[in-house]
Chain A
Amino acid sequence: DQQVKQNSPSLSVQEGRISILNCDYTNSMFDYFLWYKKYPAEGPTFLISISSIKDKNEDGRFTVFLNKSAKHLSLHIVPSQPGDSAVYFCAASGNAGNMLTFGGGTRLMVKP
């Protein structure tokens, strides 16, 4: 049973508009959440994270929102750019070993 789920395998957005990527989790012990971006033939690159003591974290065009009661997090990209086209993975951690559990990924396509 997947503990972290990204229910949208793909998302298409027009350049300049907002991209919203969603992630749900089931394990209430998770207390640290991350988003990674992955281009083809490269490793995942860390994008942004949030601790469970917060409900929002912002870094430039990227904002992550955490709703603990709903066990849901989302990544907002504003404005979206063609270079943002990639696969985005959400991940969660809940132990001192920093082990991550990943969602299945969402492919974002930003059209010029």
Chain B
Amino acid sequence: DAGITQSPRHKVTETGTPVTLRCHQTENHRYMYWYRQDPGHGLRLIHYSYGVKDTDKGEVSDGYSVSRSKTEDFLLTLESATSSQTSVYFCAISGRQVNQPQHFGDGTRLSIL
């Protein structure tokens, strides 16, 4: 299994509070991704990173920010959580070569009340 750890695995918080999710990898891969999974939508890309301090927006980036200060860590922040951000969040990694599969962590279930 790819060495990907997401923390926390579960979180319940209130609307308006800031939330940070962490993804940690031990594979030294260049690319890291944050997705959210919602019923009927599959997985949708929020943000991705192609190197330290190099990030870009995905399909559903509004309300989210990311940071990558080290190769192994990719943080996803909800500055002011809303109920529409209740979801399961997955981190993924992939290597430098084109057409490599992404490998996923086990997810964080986030509930915003």
Contacts and interface: CB of A to CB of B under 8 A. Distances in A.
Interface of A: 4, 6, 9, 31-32, 34, 36, 41-46, 49, 51, 89, 91, 93, 96-105
B74 to A, nearest CB: 15
A36 B41 CA distance: 15
Nearest to B95: A98
Interface of B: 4, 31, 33, 35, 40-45, 48, 50, 56, 58-59, 90, 92, 94, 98-107
Contact of B98 (A9, A46, A98): A98
A48 to B, nearest CB: 9
Q: Is the interface of B mostly helix, strand, loop or mixed?
A: strand
Contacts of A49: 99, 101
Contacts of A98: 31, 94, 98-100, 102
B31 A105 contact: no
11 contacts: A32-B98, A42-B106, A43-B105, A43-B106, A91-B43, A96-B98, A97-B48, A100-B43, A100-B102, A104-B40, A105-B42
Nearest to B98: A96
